Amino acid sequence: MKPACNKDGQAAYGALTGRRVAWMLGLAALLFVVALLSLAMGSSAAGLRDVLRTGLDGVIFWELRVPRVIMGLLVGSGLAVGGAATQAVLRNPLASPFTLGVASGAGFGAALGIVLAGATVKWAVAGGAFTFALVTVLFILAVARMKSATPETLVLAGVAVMFLFSAGTSLLQFLGTEQQIQSIVFWSFGNLTRAAWTDILIAAGMILPALPALFLRAWDLNLLLAGDEMAASLGVRVDRLRLTALLLAALMTAGAICFTGVIGFIGLVGPHLARLMVGGDHRFLLPTSALCGALLVLVSDSLGRTFFAPHMVPIGIVTAFLGVPFFFALLLRRKREFW
Amino acid sequence: MLKASDLFYSYPGRPVLQGVSLTLSPGEVVAVLGPNGTGKSTLLRCLAGALTPQGQIELSGRALGAVPPVERARLLAFVPQHVPARLPMTVFEAVLLGRRPYLSWRPRPQDLEATWESLSILGLAELAHREFSEISGGQRQKVALARALAQNSRLLIMDEPTSSLDLRHQLEVMSLLCARAEEQGTGVVLAVHDLNLAARFASRALLLHQGRIFAEGPPEQVLTEDSIREVYGVDVLRMEAAAGAMYFPLAASSSPA
């Protein structure tokens, strides 16, 4: 009897793995289609067929649409994977770069870069964003270490941080020149329209290396969910893992938003959608989060472009409208049943 | 295979362990006993490498701190007292985590087999593909045990492994641990509150009192009416039964220790 059981148990796990891989392939296919559609969408009349056939007339296609879609893919995957890693490390399903104020920190840093060095000095903007994302992460980590910290404490601390940094950003606007103000305001909306190839290179440089670095730690992140002591006894260097993962998440968040501005809730909604599809194993959760995040960004961007056409609503506004109800739904579910 | 000598450990402003020594040989089941706050959990955490005390701990002849974490995890499994109530994964996956010290990326057939085997031994096979967050507290505790068994280590360190279990499961788990010790030579150290369980199953008892060893040896010698009155501040009636000594608490003694 036992060998038969044995086979069943393992077969069931194999089937589970198969289903997860199928979800990922399906999502990847969907993402491919959505990316093509996004390439075809825009104020210029070129439709999908033209895009596929001719590659479109050079300038609009290569300087506007392609960068926009690539930036969308980068930003979406970066924010969502950063969110998934943050949730694991803080063992807090409400955590995300946005709800913890990391995005606001990055926003302030970018604004500071704009004021001090100018919007055209890309490295200053990206560096400022990363520095302040990092400062926020370290602060949140310190709060999380407090014994009495609950998931809600962290979110409230994030709100406080958000207020602080938005006040800081306002101050910079108050002090800045008209041109700087414009750049900063553009930032606060969250927008994919002005993605230039240099921006994409820098953002890719910050996001793409962090992805495999986190994927490789998938098992350790799984263990962390089972508790610090449990993880440590199974061979994980807990403090080092926590710090590394949070630094990578901060880097990705900064990379994702330093040129596009604040695009909220992708880091929260993306991982939760992914968890619904493939469960909590980070070997599947992290790549699926990347796919979900990229998909959410491209869809939100397309909605923003078409809903009030010919006006284009910046994507940050769209994701906020989509994300806030989701966040509420999470909060209203009973405590500790977030995942 | 585990040798701790003269351990001292303090939390800020509060000394806990004050010179505790313990040796564990293969096949032994050692019960660590004592009232709340006397240092049982602290001692187990030190032995598992979760805390670093003053004093020396040797694991298979090497200083515990010098053993790389993954290698240590293959030699020694630890079940903490508290495990999270929620995990976004199935019971099977929660136990599979115990195979981490042997895994690179994809679980191999032998990992799945070990996982399934420890689930079956603990009677969790039916629950294997349920969500971890849906099962009961006692079942969660058994999942933590199954994880430790799947880890396939030579040493098991468990902090009150039976605290959420009903009578029947307490007996089953304790028999299981003893069988492991006997058949595979696994060394087991566990903190317990239940004197009857300790008397019946442990090959050795370690009675802690205010951070020091009050008595150590075969359970029937360590757990006397006098030592229990002194350490726990409780008058007990001790009766000899076929399965070992039985203890019936009578009343808190008039002069607590």
* Confidence grade of residue B78 (pLDDT, cut at 50, 70, 90): very high
- pLDDT for the residue B13: 81
Instruction: Work out the average pLDDT over A87-101.
Output: 82
- pLDDT for the residue A230: 87
**Residue B92 forms contact with A (CB below 8 Å):** yes
pLDDT digits (tens, 9 = 90+) for A110-135: 888 888 887 677 778 888 888 898 88
A201: helix, strand or coil: helix
Kindly tell me if the per-residue pLDDT of A38 is higher than 90.
no
Residue A34 lies in a domain: no
Whether B116 and A10 lie within 8 Å, measured CB to CB: yes
Q: Does residue B229 or residue A210 have the better pLDDT?
A: A210
Looking at domain B2-80+154-252, its CATH architecture is: 3-Layer(aba) Sandwich (3.40)
Question: How high is the mean pLDDT of chain A?
Answer: 82
Cβ-count burial A234-270 (b if 16+ within 10 Å, e if not)? bbbebeebbebbbbbbbbbbbbbbbbbbbbbbbbbbb
B105 → chain A, closest CA residue: A219
Distance CA A97, CA A250 (A): 8
pLDDT digits (tens, 9 = 90+) for A10-34: 788 888 889 999 999 999 999 999 9
- pLDDT for the residue A265: 85
A67 class by beta-carbon count within 10 Å (0-12 exposed, 13-18 middle, 19+ buried): buried
Cα within 13 Å of Cα(A261), Cβ side: 23
Coarse DSSP helix, strand, coil percentages of chain B, rounded to the nearest 5 percent: 40, 30, 30
Whether B93 and A279 lie within 8 Å, measured CB to CB: yes
Residue A188 lies in a domain: yes
- pLDDT for the residue A336: 46
Kindly tell me if the per-residue pLDDT of A46 is higher than 80.
no
Kindly tell me if the per-residue pLDDT of B253 is higher than 80.
no
Residue A302 lies in a domain: yes
Q: For chain A, what is the domain count?
A: 1
Distance CA B147, CA B122 (A): 10
- pLDDT for the residue A294: 94
Whether B97 and A16 lie within 8 Å, measured CB to CB: no
User: What radius of gyration do chain A's Cα atoms show?
Assistant: 20
A219 → chain B, closest CA residue: B100
- pLDDT for the residue A95: 80
User: Which one of B51, B90, B141 makes the best mutation probe of the A interface by having the most chain A beta carbons within 10 Å?
Assistant: B90
Check whether the bond before B80 is cis (ω within 30° of 0). Answer: no
Q: Does residue B23 or residue B257 have the better pLDDT?
A: B23
Kindly tell me if the per-residue pLDDT of A215 is higher than 90.
yes
pLDDT digits (tens, 9 = 90+) for B205-227: 898 888 888 888 888 888 888 88
B193: helix, strand or coil: coil
- pLDDT for the residue A4: 42
What contacts 24+ positions apart, CB below 8 Å, involve B176-185?
A: B176/B121, B176/B122, B177/B29, B177/B201, B178/B29, B180/B149, B180/B156, B181/B27, B181/B28, B181/B29, B182/B27, B185/B26, B185/B27, B185/B154
Distance CA B243, CA B245 (A): 7
Q: What residues of chain B lie within 8 A of the CB of A281, using their CB?
A: 89, 93
Domain boundaries defined on chain B = 2-80+154-252
- Expressed as residue numbers, the domain containing A168 is 52-332
DSSP B23: E
Question: How high is the mean pLDDT of chain B?
Answer: 86
Residue A41 lies in a domain: no
Q: What residues of chain A lie within 8 A of the CB of B45, using their CB?
A: 229
Phi, psi dihedrals of residue B18, rounded to the nearest 5°: -130, 75
* Confidence grade of residue A255 (pLDDT, cut at 50, 70, 90): confident
pTM equals: 0.84
User: Which one of A5, A234, A236, A333 makes the best mutation probe of the B interface by having the most chain B beta carbons within 10 Å?
Assistant: A234
User: Which one of A230, A282, A283, A336 makes the best mutation probe of the B interface by having the most chain B beta carbons within 10 Å?
Assistant: A230
**What would the two tokens of residue A185 be?**
């305001």
**Residue B189 forms contact with A (CB below 8 Å):** no
Q: A with B: how many residue pairs have Cβ under 8 Å apart?
A: 112
B159: helix, strand or coil: strand
- Measured in angstroms, the CA of B86 and the nearest CA of chain A are apart by 7
**Residue B135 forms contact with A (CB below 8 Å):** no
Residue A59 lies in a domain: yes
What is the pairing mode between strands B29-33 and B187-191? Answer: parallel
Residue A237 lies in a domain: yes
- Measured in angstroms, the CA of A236 and the nearest CA of chain B are apart by 7
What is the pairing mode between strands B2-11 and B155-159? Answer: unpaired
Phi, psi dihedrals of residue B122, rounded to the nearest 5°: -90, 10
- pLDDT for the residue A1: 38
Residue B17 pairs in a beta bridge with: B9
- pLDDT for the residue A54: 56
- pLDDT for the residue A52: 53
Q: What residues of chain A lie within 8 A of the CB of B84, using their CB?
A: 91, 225-227
Phi, psi dihedrals of residue A190, rounded to the nearest 5°: 80, 115
Kindly tell me if the per-residue pLDDT of A180 is higher than 90.
no
Residue A28 lies in a domain: no
Kindly tell me if the per-residue pLDDT of B237 is higher than 80.
yes
Distance CA B89, CA B102 (A): 20
**Residue B197 forms contact with A (CB below 8 Å):** no
pLDDT digits (tens, 9 = 90+) for B100-136: 989 888 888 888 888 888 888 888 888 888 888 888 8
Q: Return residues 36-65 of B near A (CB < 8 Å).
A: 45, 48-50
Number of residues in chain B: 257
Residue A6 lies in a domain: no
Distance CA B53, CA B39 (A): 12
- pLDDT for the residue A3: 43
B73: helix, strand or coil: helix
Whether B84 and A232 lie within 8 Å, measured CB to CB: no
CATH code for the domain of A119: 1.10.3470.10
Kindly tell me if the per-residue pLDDT of A256 is higher than 70.
yes
**Residue B252 forms contact with A (CB below 8 Å):** no
